[in-house]
Amino acid sequence: MQYNQLSKEEISQLTDADWKERLSSDEYHVMREKGTERPFTGVYNDINDKGIYRCKGCGANLFESDNKFDAGCGWPSFDQGIDNSAIDEHVDDSLGMRRTEVTCSHCSAHLGHVFPDGPSETTGMRYCINSVAIDLDKSDE
C-alpha cells in the first residue's frame, strides 16, 4: 500500500463531511468523536508484523512495531510514540474519570489513551490505541 501523508494545509481544509467520506463509520466514531472500539476486536491487537503504524486519518508515522507489546487489555499497546512530536497528550475528564488522551499531532485524530502501567524495562508507559485509528505499513524484513 502506498502511504501519502496529508499536509497541514490539506488537513486544515477538511470539513466534517470530508472526514465522514474519508473514514469508515467506525473510524469516524473513534477518530473524530473520541469513541473506543470494543476490546479484543481490533485487527492489530494480535498482529506482530514489523513496520510503522500510521494514522488512518492523515498517514503520519505514529508508532514503530518494535515498541508494540501484549498488554492483555484488548487493544494494541506501545511503550512510546515514534518520536516526541508524533502524538499529543491531553487531559480527558470524560466518563467520570481522569485519563490522558492520545491524539495524532498532525491531524488531531483521537487514537486512544496512555497509562503509566507499561513494561518497566522500557518507558513504563502503555499507549492503548484503537486499531481503527492506525494502519500498519509493513516493512520488507
Residues catalogued as catalytic: 128
Is 58 annotated as contributing to ligand binding? yes
Is 107 annotated as contributing to ligand binding? yes
Is 55 annotated as contributing to ligand binding? yes
Closest CA to 82 of 107, 64, 59: 64
From CA 84, how far away is CA 97, in angstroms rounded? 26
DSSP string for 61-81 = EEEEGGGEE--SSSS-EESS-
**Helix count (H) and strand count (E) of the chain?**
3, 9
What are phi and psi for residue 106, nearest 5 degrees? -85, -45
Q: Which residue shows C-alpha cell 468523536?
A: 33
Is 73 annotated as contributing to ligand binding? no
Where is the binding site for Zn(2+), in residues? 55, 58, 104, 107
Where is the binding site, in residues? 55, 58, 104, 107
